[in-house]
Chain A
Amino acid sequence: MNTSSVPDLATIGLLGFGTMGAGIAQVMAASGRRVVVLETDRARLDEGFALVGASLDAGVTRGRLSENARTSALARITGTTEIRDLAGVEAVLESVTENGELKKALLTRVAALVGEKIPILTNTSALSVTDLAAGLPNPARVAGLHFFNPAPAMRTVEIVRALHTGEDLVDRLFALVETLDGKDAVLVKDRPGFLVNALLMPYLNDVVQEYDDGLASAEDLDAALRLGLGYKSGPLEMLDMIGLDVHLHATEAAYRATLDPRYAPPPLLRRMVAAGMLGAKNGQGFRTGEEGGR
Chain B
Amino acid sequence: MSHSRKTVAVVGAGTMGSGIATVMARAGHTTILFDIDEAGLRRGVDTVHGFFDNSVRKGKLSAGQASAAKAALKGTTSLADLASSEVVVEAVFENLDLKKEIFGQLDEIVSESALFHTNTSTLSVTGIASGSRIPGRVVGTHYCNPAPLMKLVEVADGRHTADWAHRATLEFLGSLGKTGVVTKDRPGFIVNRFLIPWENSCIRALEAGLGTKEAIDSAVPGALGHPMGPFRLLDIVGMDIHQQVATRLYEQLRDPRFFPPPMVERMVAAGDLGRKTGRGFYEYGDTRLFGS
Contact = CB atoms under 8 A, between A and B. Distances in A.
Contacts of A230: 226-228
B153 to A, nearest CB: 9
Interface stretch (A6-14, A104-112, A196-204): A196-204
A264 B132 CA distance: 43
B118 to A, nearest CB: 18
Interface in B119-169: 144, 150-152, 154
A228 B193 CA distance: 12
B184 A215 contact: yes
A228 B205 contact: no
A199 B222 contact: no
Interface in A228-260: 228-233, 235, 238
Interface in A152-201: 154-156, 158, 184, 186-189, 191, 195-196, 198-200
A100 B23 CA distance: 55
Nearest to B189: A224
Given A214-B184, A216-B182, A227-B150, A207 B220 contact: no
A266 B149 CA distance: 35
A206 interface: yes
Nearest to A203: B198
Contacts of B186: 215
Contacts of A189: 210
A227 B151 contact: yes
Nearest to B218: A184
B182 A217 contact: yes
B151, B179, B223, B226: which has the most chain A beta carbons within 10 Å? B223
A190 B163 CA distance: 53
A231 B226 contact: yes
B219 interface: yes
B211 interface: yes
Contacts of B190: 215-216, 220-221, 224-225, 228
Contacts of B198: 199, 203
Contacts of A155: 221-223
B218 A186 contact: yes
A262 interface: yes
A196 B224 contact: yes
B194 interface: yes
B219 A186 contact: yes
Given A199-B205, A203-B197, A206-B194, A228 B150 contact: yes
Contacts of A221: 190
A203 B152 contact: no
B184 A191 contact: no
Given A189-B210, A199-B198, A217-B182, A223 B152 contact: yes
B193 to A, nearest CB: 7
Interface size class of B (residues with CB under 8 A): 35 or more
A235 B205 CA distance: 21
Contacts of B228: 230
A224 B154 contact: yes
A124 to B, nearest CB: 15
Given A224-B154, A231-B225, A196 B220 contact: yes
A67 interface: no
B288 to A, nearest CB: 20
A210 interface: yes
A216 B193 CA distance: 12
Contacts of A223: 152, 179, 181
Contacts of A231: 224-227
Interface string B235-273: 000000000000000000000010000000000000000
Given A214-B184, A215-B183, A216-B184, A233 B219 contact: no
B215 A206 contact: no
Contacts of B211: 186-188, 195
A242 to B, nearest CB: 11
Given A156-B222, A184-B222, A231-B226, A225 B210 contact: no
Contacts of B36: none
11 contacts: A155-B221, A156-B218, A187-B211, A196-B219, A196-B223, A216-B190, A227-B151, A227-B152, A228-B154, A230-B226, A231-B224
- Shortest beta-carbon contacts, A-B, top 3: A232-B225, A156-B222, A155-B222
Interface of B: 144, 150-152, 154, 179, 181-184, 186, 189-191, 193-195, 197-198, 201-202, 205, 210-211, 215-216, 218-228, 257
